[in-house]
Amino acid sequence: MTAIVPVNALARHISPLASALSSAAVEVIESGYYVLGPNVKAFESEFATWCGASECVSVANGTEALELGLRSLGVKQGSSVAVVANAAMYGTTAVLACGAEPVFVDIDPSTCTIDPAALDEAASRQSIDVVIVTHLYGRLADMSAIMALADKHGFAVFEDCAQAHGAKDHSGRKAGTFGKAASFSFYPTKNLGALGDGGAIITNCAETAETLRQLRQYGWTSKYRNELAGGRNSRLDELQAAFLRIMLPLLEGWNDRRREIANRYSDEIHHPDIKVPARGGDDFVAHLYVVHTDDRAGLQKHLSGAHVASEVHYPIPDYRQPIFGNEFQGISLPWTEASCNAVVTLPCFPELTDDEVSRVIEACNGW
Ligand SMILES: Cc1ncc(COP(=O)(O)O)c(C=O)c1O
């Protein structure tokens, strides 16, 4: 029986590390520190340095990193936050959790990240306090254009780097260091993934970092003294921090291999009905390799017949999610909708073999 080429295979990713991870787990177990201990402190420092930021505050997951990050920038009831609608509700969920209003902005169809022209238009039409820039699929958004708009309109920029650990611009500046603060997820499938949930916020502002340390711990300004609204329990545990410390030095190599696979796809998939993304340089860490087609069902059926798995990231624009009913009935973003209807994710993870990559390419070209 022909083996399926999977979209992801975490066991392959983790098994070479199993003995190092097991030793680290034993050390944590024997240490007596399980929450906000030495591994968390060390990981925060190492990850901040790796990203090129001065501060890192770890939290329980990427969604809370987004929410607490927004709160640390002062987002609250009555605030307006611009956000794309093609990224599975993560940004929108955080905006709503803060009691703020989402302002949905269309994407640039060539990158699937926020379209600076659409953002300019939205910020000219209404006041926007913060913009969430999602570096979707691992591709750095057009940060020079977005930062110029931040100067023009006076909004703050918050980067969602959950899919873009290590993506850099031409000068080597990494995702997460352009705006006021940025969130990361360490969900197991991410480019840097723990063996459970995890997240972090990076910033160059010591005051923002201090606010975040308070928000992740009930809103305490000192033990048992709650001064900050919006606080909660959101902490990375010692085990996950110890695991992430083992993986961080390997991340650059994993990103390179992801990019190599993605660029082979972009070079070698030639089919009139499959639109591949542009080859990526350092600005693309290939978290997901996503093509567009007008016949998604047809392509997925064909791939499945060729024993190639595929997925859809993501099918429903945020403003069309059932929870909203008719609330955003009047909103329609053409590129977001076209993209949600056409995206298909192909297998792309560091441990994919060259033969498997060839099989995916042959399957696409043979459609
Ligand atoms: C772009 C983006 N933002 C935020 C998140 C949320 O991260 P988490 O699943 O750790 O809450 C994810 C993860 O799935 C994501 O892909």
* pLDDT interval class at 320 (50, 70, 90): very high
| pLDDT confidence band for 171 (50 / 70 / 90) | very high
Neighbours of 15 (CB within 10 A): 12
Question: How far is the C-alpha of 240 from the C-alpha of 72, rounded, in Å?
Answer: 24
CA 5 / ligand 1 centre spacing (Å): 24
**What confidence tens digit (pLDDT) does each residue in 121-160 have?**
999 999 999 999 999 999 999 999 999 999 999 999 999 9
Average pLDDT estimate for 345-365:
98
Neighbours of 53 (CB within 10 A): 20
Rounded to the nearest 10°, the torsion over CA 214, 219, 222, 227 is 120
Q: What is the mean pLDDT of residues 205-223?
A: 97
Q: What distance in angstroms lies between residue 98's CA and the mean position of ligand 1's atoms?
A: 17
> With pLDDT > 90 as the criterion, what percentage of the chain qualifies?
99
> H/E/C letters for each residue in 41-70?
HHHHHHHHHHHCCCEEEEECCHHHHHHHHH
**63 Cα–ligand 1 center, Å:** 6
pLDDT at 54: 98
Q: Judge whether 136 and 90 are in contact, CB under 8 Å.
A: no
95 pLDDT above the threshold of 90: yes
Atom of ligand 1 at shortest distance to CA of 287? 16
Q: Which whole-number Å values give the CA distances from 79 to 57, 60, 74, 155, 262, in the listed order?
A: 24, 25, 8, 11, 38
pLDDT tens column, 232-269? 999 999 999 999 999 999 999 999 999 999 999 999 99
**Residue 332 pLDDT:** 95
Q: Would you state the pLDDT for residue 38? A: 98
Q: Which residues pair with 80 in a beta bridge?
A: 101
Among 68, 187, 192, 201, name the best residue to mutate to test ligand 1's pocket (greatest count of ligand atoms within 8 A of Cβ): 187
Q: What is the mean pLDDT of residues 294-323?
A: 98
The pair of three-digit structure tokens given for residue 47, joined into one six-digit string: 């990850």
Residues 6+ apart with CB under 8 A from 102: 81, 82, 83, 91, 92, 95, 96, 318, 319
Domains and CATH numbers, the chain: 10-248 (3.40.640.10), 250-365 (3.90.1150.10)
- Share in percent of the chain as helix, strand, coil (round to 5): 45, 15, 40
Q: Which residues line ligand 1 (CB under 6 A)?
A: 61-63, 66, 87, 90, 134, 160, 162-163, 185, 187, 197, 199
Q: Where are the alpha helices (DSSP H) in 194-333?
A: 206-215, 238-247, 251-268, 296-305
Residue 62 CA, ligand 1 centroid: distance in Å: 5
What integer is the mean pLDDT of 332-349?
98
In the predicted model, is pLDDT for residue 306 greater than 90?
Answer: yes
Question: How many Å apart are CA 201 and CA 181, to the nearest integer?
Answer: 7
Predicted confidence at residue 184, as pLDDT, reads 98
Is the pLDDT assigned to residue 359 strictly greater than 90? yes
pLDDT > 70: what percent of the chain?
100
Phi then psi for residue 53, to 5 deg, are -115, 160
CA distance 63 to 95: 10
DSSP strand pairing (181-185 vs 199-203) = antiparallel
348 CA distance to ligand 1 middle (Å): 18
Amino acid at position 37, single letter: G
Neighbours of 45 (CB within 10 A): 12
Question: In the structure encoding, which two tokens stand for residue 147, read together?
Answer: 């930062």
Omega of the bond prior to 137 within 30 degrees of 0, cis? no
Is 1 a residue whose pLDDT tops 90? no
Integer Cα distance of 100 and 90 in angstroms: 14
Residue nearest to atom 15 of ligand 1 (CA): 162
